[in-house]
Amino acid sequence: MQQLAMGCTVRWDARVGIEMLTVDFEGKLPIVNEKGELVSLIARTDLKKSRDYPLASKDSKKQLLCGAAIGTRESDKERLQLLVQAGVDVIVLDSSQGNSTFQIDMIKFIKQTYPELQVIAGNVVTVAQAKNLIDAGADALRVGMGSGSICITQEVMAVGRPQGSAVYRVSEYSRRFGVPVIADGGVSSVGHVTKALALGASAVMMGSMLAGTTESPGEYFFSDGVRLKKYRGMGSLDAMEKHDSSASRYFSENDRVKVAQGVSGAIVDKGSIHRFLPYLYAALQHGCQDAGAKSLAMLRSMMYSGELKFERRSTSAQVEGGVHSLHSYEKRLF
């Protein structure tokens, strides 16, 4: 192998390159072609991350997978083109009501223009809504309407569905076509994560659960001695007045009077995500263990076969299932 300064030819030996970065303690390793032109750059931190995070989601080029959200209007097609040029792996169509002509037309446009690009569509809560998006070419669905912690769609618009029913019904239908479901909303504890996955979801969105972490956007502030972070819904008047994208998500960008479908609030500090996620991961494992499932796939299989059952709990049962009969207590989750 021919060495050029601290670089090497593209036909390089990976073991030699790793040795140069680890044994010789070089911080960067330039990769050059036979003309001496720089074609890549490997850092010692890249090797460290590869070692520390072996389960990271990467593409065929060993790059981290990247997704981006766009709307469903004509102006979003230009943004889509730029995202594809930048190498985006998956597109999320951001809409509170996914079963619209805007979204169906956008899915068809994406699939015709960029057939290899993955599209996550939604939001939907019924089989009929899911069918329209799957028929248009959606690769995955987000399920949930009005069940988020900062969402008031069900209260104001009288539209939505209980999240458990929505996830189960849509998942049961979409799995016939190999279309995974993302449970979006109603997840405020690790128990809700376990329930959503058991009901058929392949993933969950955890906006409120992660909003209070150190790595989430926003500044901390104190109120009555409690460390908090501001957290607002996309459908809140605060968000719609400051960002057109928030208003367009609810088809309200041209309305003189905007109707809020969300609220602004504050959420308690949860510390670093590096401490919080391991807790979620371990708690989910214990949930599967107590249910008698060795994996999430088995958990869903047990549910569809009838081996795993759900029962409606009365108000008394819910009280009984929580902390009770104590004068005082401290609740530390991790």
Q: Which two tokens stand for residue 149?
A: 């912690």
**Closest C-alpha to 31, from 46, 59, 12:** 12
Give catalytic status of residue 161 as yes or no: no
**Alpha-helical runs (H) found in 175-295:** 190-198, 207-211, 237-242, 244-249, 273-291
Is 332 strand, coil or helix?
coil
Direct distance between the N- and C-terminal alpha carbons of the chain, in angstroms, rounded to an integer: 51
Q: Residues 6 or more apart from 314 whose CB is under 8 A from it?
A: none
Would you say the C-alpha torsion 73, 79, 84, 89 has a positive or negative sign?
Answer: negative
The one-character DSSP state at 142 is E
Q: Are 140 and 118 in contact (CB under 8 A)?
A: yes
Question: What is the spatial distance between Cα 84 and Cα 106, in angstroms, rounded to a whole number?
Answer: 15
Pairing outcome for strands 181-184 and 203-205: parallel
Residue 170 to residue 260: CA distance in whole angstroms: 27
Q: How far apart are CA 180 and CA 182, in angstroms?
A: 7
Among residues 142, 151, 288, 300, the one annotated as catalytic is: 151
Residue with tokens 């073991």: 15
> Cα-atom radius of gyration of the chain, to the nearest Å?
24
Distance in angstroms (rounded) separating the CA atoms of residues 193 and 186: 9
- Name the helix (H) or strand (E) containing 119: strand 118-124
User: Which is the catalytic residue, given 161, 169, 232, 249?
Assistant: 249
Give CA–CA dist 205/208, Å, rounded: 9
Does 151 participate in catalysis according to the annotation?
A: yes
Point out the residues that are catalytic. Answer: 151, 249
